[in-house]
Amino acid sequence: MKSAAVLLAVLLAAGMARAQVSLDCHFAPGWEASGPARQYTAENLYDYKDGAADGYLSYGFARMSTIDCKSGADMLTIDVSEMNDADAAYGLFTANRDPRLPIAPIGMGGQIQPQSALFAKGKYYVEIVENADNPNADHSAVMQAFAAGIEQRLQGRETAPEALQWFPKENLDSIRLIPESVLGLKLLKRGYVARYKQGQAFVVMETTPASAAEVFKKLREHFDGAAPAQVADEAFLAKAPYLDGICVFRKGRFLAGYANLPDATQAAALSANLAARIP
Amino acid sequence: MSSNTSRRDFLSTGLSAGLALPVLGAASVIDPQSAKAAVPAKLDYRILGRTGLKVTTVGMGCMITSDPSVITRAADMGINYFDTARGYSHGNNERMVAAALGARRKDVIISTKSHAPNKEELQQHLEISLRELNTDYIDIWFLHGKGSPDEIADDMIEVQQKAKKEGKVRFTGVSTHGGQQQLLPWMAQKGVFDVVLTGYNFTMGVDMDQSIATAAKAGLGVVAMKVMAGGLRRLKPDDPAYKKLTQQGGMLAALKWVIKKPNIATTIPSITDMDQLDENLKAMSNPLSAGEEKILSAHLDAIRPLYCRMCGQCDGACQKGLPVADVLRFLTYADGYGQFALGRERFLELSAEHKAVRCGDCAACTVKCPHGVQVARRCARAQELFA
C-alpha cells in the first residue's frame, strides 16, 4: 500500500513536471532573462494580474508560467497560461485578439503586433508583451521570433475548435468563445458567438441532450410569447428587447440559433442553415 | 453588425417611451407584450466628490461582460457610471463599451484607466482610449493599479493635467488594489486628483474606513470596486461557504453594505448577464436589512481567524515586540487583496530584529486577539511567505 502511494506520488510529480512549461528568453539574439521564471495558479493569479485574473479564471485557468526578458533597454514579459482544455485556450485568445486584424497561423491561431504577440496552441494560451519606452517602436520581428520559439516548445492541437467551422463565413465579423452568459442570458452558460454584419449566431454546448432539453425548456419560458418553429429537434421564435428577432433551436446536446435580426422568421431561416452544419 | 442600431432605434421609439414592441412581420403570432422589457428601477444617486457628477450608487464594471446588450440595458435601466480600462481584453473591452453606449454617450459617465509605465505610453493610451471609446472626452481617467505614491511619477500627473486642460479628460484619478492606507491620504494631500477607485468590501477593517474618510473629506470622489469578490475571492465555487453565501443573497448584501457607506459615491460590480443586472439594481431600492447583515456577519465569522480589523488592541502585546497588526496587514495585502509584492515589500521594511522573529519558536503566544484572529498562526504564515 505504502509503495503504491509512493509510486502514485512519483507519477503525479512527473505529470506536474511535464505540465510545467520550461521558459527562458533565448528566442532572439541578445535577449536574456531579467529574473527567474515565476509560476502562478488559480489561487494566486491575483498576485500578478490583479482584477484581470477574473478573465483568465472565467475561461478555465489551470496555471501560468511567466518570465521577464531584456535586451539592452528593451524589456518584454512572456505569460504562458495552461488552460483546462484547448477550447479554453482558444477562447481566451479570441477574447484578447484584435478582431479587426487577421489571425496568423501560429498554433491554433495567433496575432503578431509591433509590441505584442498572442497565440493559442493546445491547452496553452501565450501572451508576449513588450514594455517599451517608445510606444511607437516596431518590434514585430522580435515578437515573431519569440512566438515561433515558444510555439515549438508547446505540445497540443494546432487546429481551431471544430465548432468554428459550423458558422457560415459570409458576412462574418468575428467569432468568440463566451465563457458564461451567452447573449447576456445566464441560462446559456458557455458557447461560441459569431457576429455578422447583421445579427449574431450562437452555439452553446451542453453536456447531454437531456440537459440541453432542460435549458431549452427554461429558455422558452423566459421568452413568454415564444412561438414554436421547425428547426432541428425543437425550436422557438421570439422578439425581445436587446435580442430583437431571435430563433433558438436544440440539436442533440447543442443549443444554437440567431439573434438581433429584424424579424424572427429571418432568424429561423438562418438557424435552419446553421442546424444543418452542426453534426 | 447592425444590432446596436436596431436596439437604439427600438429604445428610442418603443421602450423608453413606454410603447408596445414593434410589430413583427411573419412572426406576428408572437405576443409582443410578452417579451420581457426593462422596467425602470428605483435609483439612488450621490455626488462624486469634487467632480460634482451625480452618479448612481450602483455602477457597472464592464471588465468581464461579454455581451454588450447587458451594458446597454444597464444604461436603459438608469445606471449611469460605467468602468473599463485600456488593458481589459487588450482593448476589446473599451470597444465593446463604446458600441454598447454609443447613442447614450452624453447621458453616462465613462471611466477608463491606463496601466502605462511611463508618460509617453500614457499619452498614447489616452489617444487610443479616446478612439476606441469613440468619444471626444473621457469622464474620468485613472492611472491603473497603483499601490503606493512611489508608483505615481510627477510626469504622469502632468500628462493627466494636460489632458484635462485640453478637454480630453474631464476628471483624473488613481485606481488601487492595495496600499490604500498610504496612498489615499497622499492623494488627499496632493490635491491634484478628483477621484479614487479602490477595492472596498465588508471584510475590510476600520483602517480602510479611515483612509476612505480622509480621501472623501479632501473632496476626492470615492468609487468602490471588488465590493463582492474581495470578500469571496478566497472561496472556491465548490466551497460550501461560497454556495451558502451566494444562495442566501450574500452577494447582494455585500453590495448593499458598501452602498450604505456615505463616503462611497458609487460602486462598480462586474455584471455578466441580465439576471445579475436585475439583482444589483435591487441594491438601490432596498437598503441592507438586518437579515442581510446577519448573512455578512456569519461570513465574517468564518473568515475571522484570518482577517485583522486593525483595532490596535494587540499593540505591545507580543513578548518579542513584533508589530502584530502591521504583520497581519502585510499578510492581508497578499492573501486578501492579492498584492503579494506589496506585502513582501512592507514586511522587508521591518527592522532586522522583527524580521528575524519566528512565531513557531514561542511556546505560547502572548497576543490574544479580541476578534478571534489566530495571531500566531497568521504571523507564522507571513514569516513563511515573506521572510
Q: Is the ipTM of this complex over 0.90?
A: no
Confidence of residue B226 (pLDDT cuts 50, 70, 90): confident
Residue partners of B291: CB distance under 8 A and separation at least 6: none
Burial of A226 (0-12, 13-18, 19+ CB in 10 A): buried
**Shortest distance, CA B171 to any CA of chain A (angstroms):** 23
Provide the H-helix boundaries in A154-263.
Answer: 209-222
CB B88 to CB A52 under 8 A? Answer: yes
CB-CB contact of A68 with A75 (8 Å): yes
User: Does pLDDT of B90 surpass 80?
Assistant: yes
Q: Give the residue from chain A lying closest to B123, CA to CA.
A: A135
The reply to whether residue B34 touches residue A97, judged by beta carbons under 8 angstroms, is no
Nearest CA in chain B to A50: B338
CA distance B10 to B29: 20
Nearest Cα to Cα of residue B184 among B153, B157, B147: B147
Spatial contact of A245 and A266, defined as CB atoms under 8 Å apart = yes
For residues B70 and A135, give the distance between their C-alpha atoms in angstroms, rounded to a whole number.
Answer: 33
| Separation between Cα atoms, residue B287 and residue A19, nearest integer Å | 49
Q: What is d(CA B222, CA B194) in angstroms, rounded to the nearest whole number?
A: 9
Chain B segment 231-290 residues within 8 A of A by beta carbon are 233, 270, 272-276
**pLDDT score recorded for residue B23:** 27
Helix (H) or strand (E) holding A239: strand A234-240
pLDDT at A47: 73
What is d(CA A166, CA B288) in angstroms, rounded to the nearest whole number?
48
What is the DSSP secondary structure assignment for residue A196, as one 8-state letter? Answer: E
Taking only the tens place, the pLDDT of each residue in A4-34 is 544 444 444 444 434 457 789 999 999 999 9
Give the separation between CA A53 and CA A55, rounded to whole angstroms.
Answer: 5
**A149 pLDDT higher than 80:** yes
Q: Give the range among A61-70, A186-195, B240-249 with minimum mean pLDDT.
A: B240-249
Q: Do A197 and B90 touch (CB under 8 A)?
A: no
Give the nearest partner residue to A245 out of B27, B116, B124, using CB atoms: B27
Q: Which range has the top average pLDDT, A4-18, B21-35, B66-80?
A: B66-80
- What does the alpha-carbon distance between residue A204 and residue B146 come to, in Å, rounded to a whole number? 39
Q: How many CB pairs under 8 A join A and B?
A: 169
Contact B267, B79 (CB under 8 A): no
In this predicted model, what pLDDT tens digit does every residue of A214-238 receive, in sequence order? Answer: 999 999 999 988 999 999 999 999 9
Interface test with A, best of B274, B277, B335 (most A CBs within 10 A): B274
Return the higher-pLDDT residue of A6 and A273. A273
More confident residue, A12 or B80: B80
CA distance B171 to A111: 35
Which single residue is written with the C-alpha cell 510555439?
Answer: A151
| Torsion sign, CA atoms B308, B312, B314, B320 | positive
Among A72-86, A247-261, B319-333, B354-368, which stretch is predicted with the lowest mean pLDDT? B319-333
**Average model confidence (pLDDT) for chain B?**
82
Question: What is the C-alpha separation between B142 and B314, in angstroms, rounded?
Answer: 37
3-state helix, strand, coil in chain B (%, to 5): 50, 10, 40
Percentage of chain B lying above the pLDDT 70 cut = 80
- Residue B340 corresponds to which cell in the numbers above? 503579494
Q: Do A181 and B7 touch (CB under 8 A)?
A: no
Q: Give the residue on A whose Cα is nearest the Cα of B24.
A: A263
A211, A222 Cβ separation under 8 angstroms:
no
A203's enclosing H/E stretch is: strand A200-205
The answer to whether B304 and B371 have CB atoms below 8 angstroms apart is yes
CB contact under 8 A, B29 and A227: yes
A46/B33 touch (CB, cutoff 8 Å), yes or no: no
pLDDT of residue B239: 58
pLDDT of residue B231 exceeding 50: no
Classify the C-alpha dihedral A115-B137-B283-B281 as positive or negative. negative
Which domains does chain A carry? Answer: 21-153 (3.40.1000), 162-277 (3.40.1000.20)
Burial class (CB in 10 A: 0-12, 13-18, 19+), A109: buried
Q: Average model confidence (pLDDT) for chain A?
A: 90
C-beta of residue B258 within 8 angstroms of C-beta of residue B224:
yes
Quick: pLDDT tens for B282-341: 999 988 999 998 888 887 777 667 666 656 678 789 999 998 988 987 887 676 555 577
Residue B2, min C-alpha distance to chain A (Å): 5
Domain with residues B43-291, CATH architecture = Alpha-Beta Barrel (3.20)
Domain boundaries defined on chain B: 43-291, 324-386
Contact B24 A239 (CB under 8 A): yes
* pLDDT computed for residue B14 by the predictor: 26
Total-model pTM? 0.80
Percentage of residues of chain A with pLDDT beyond 70: 92
